[in-house]
């Protein structure tokens, strides 16, 4: 198991320095599987995990919706475990990947990986905060946004999930940073406005979410 206990540097103007959390860990384990040659768009994620993880702040990953074998677990370690280990921290996160459950790719890894394209044009990072039903999964929003325009949306980061004051009952706020960049040209303010509106409209139409002002 790989574990993390550290601060996460600020990613955007809206984000402050913070502790590494379950979303950072999920990104790490997904990226590890992607680097091993697996397609993240085929992954299936749910919130079930062993009892040494924090319930509600952990999950598991399968390589496909068939849920044949668990590829990985990730999340916060259960508070009782942290107390037993006498670690002076409020939370500890980690993940474990089960190599015996991963099928060896038929092609060498170098033949599977897609060509990495680097854009010479300026990128823009836009932050969105959506109010959604509590049952809506974070990964669902990420998948919806990533499918809107793969030529322009180059990266998506979830940096906050909040329930409580100023949020309606049975709902939550999910804050997402989206990197927008073209391989062909510098995007104008009008181009950015169009993709921003498309992101908001698509998420609202598919999940019933509302943009948080």
pLDDT tens digits along 149-177: 888 888 888 888 888 888 888 899 999 99
List CB contacts of 58: < 8 A, sequence separation 6 or more: 22, 47, 49, 73, 74, 75, 76
- Determine what percent of the chain is predicted with pLDDT higher than 90: 30
Q: Residue 13's pLDDT band (boundaries 50, 70, 90)?
A: very low
Q: How confident is the model at residue 117 (pLDDT cuts 50, 70, 90)?
A: low
Q: How far is CA 172 from CA 27, 127, 131, 145, in A?
A: 21, 16, 6, 18
Confidence label for 9 from pLDDT (cuts 50, 70 and 90): very low
CA distances from 114 to 104, 107, 110 (A): 18, 13, 9
The chain-wide mean pLDDT, for the chain, equals: 81
Q: What is the pLDDT of residue 210?
A: 92
What is the pLDDT confidence band of residue 14, given thresholds at 50, 70 and 90? very low
> Helix, strand, coil % (nearest 5) of the chain?
30, 30, 40
Q: Which of 97-101, 138-142, 172-176 has the lowest mean pLDDT?
A: 138-142
pLDDT above 50: residue 100: yes
CB 178 within 8 A of CB 154: no
Task: Work out whether the CA dihedral 49, 55, 58, 62 comes out positive or negative.
Answer: positive
For tokens 């919130």, the residue is: 47
* Contact between 100 and 68 (Cβ < 8 Å): no
pLDDT for position 64: 87
Mean pLDDT of 57-73: 89
pTM of the model: 0.56
Q: Residue 154 has which token pair?
A: 């180059």
> What pLDDT was estimated at residue 130?
94
* Predicted pLDDT of residue 159: 83
Mind listing the domains of the chain with CATH numbers?
2-111 (3.30.930.10), 124-211 (3.30.70.380)
pLDDT value, residue 113: 52
* Sign of the torsion angle spanned by Cα atoms 13, 17, 20, 22: negative
């Amino acid at each position: 198991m790989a574990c993390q206990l550290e601060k996460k540097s600020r990613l955007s103007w809206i984000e402050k320095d913070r502790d590494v959390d379950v979303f950072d860990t999920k990104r790490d384990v997904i990226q590890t599987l992607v680097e091993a040659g697996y397609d993240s768009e085929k992954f299936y994620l749910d919130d079930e995990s062993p009892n040494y993880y924090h319930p509600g702040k952990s999950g598991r990953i399968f390589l496909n919706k068939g849920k044949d074998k668990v590829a990985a677990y990730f999340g916060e370690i259960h508070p009782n475990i942290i107390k037993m280990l006498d670690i002076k921290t409020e939370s500890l996160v980690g993940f474990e990947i089960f190599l015996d459950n991963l099928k060896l790719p038929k092609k060498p890894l170098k033949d599977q990986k897609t060509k990495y394209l680097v854009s010479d044009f300026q990128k823009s990072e836009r932050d969105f905060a959506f109010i959604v039903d509590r049952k809506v999964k974070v990964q669902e929003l990420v998948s919806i946004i990533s499918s809107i325009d793969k030529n322009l949306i180059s990266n998506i980061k979830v940096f906050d999930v909040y329930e409580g004051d100023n949020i309606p009952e049975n709902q939550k706020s999910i804050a997402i940073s989206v990197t927008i960049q073209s391989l062909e040209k510098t995007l104008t303010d009008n181009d950015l406005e169009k993709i921003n509106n498309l992101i908001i409209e698509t998420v609202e139409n598919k999940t019933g979410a509302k943009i948080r002002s």
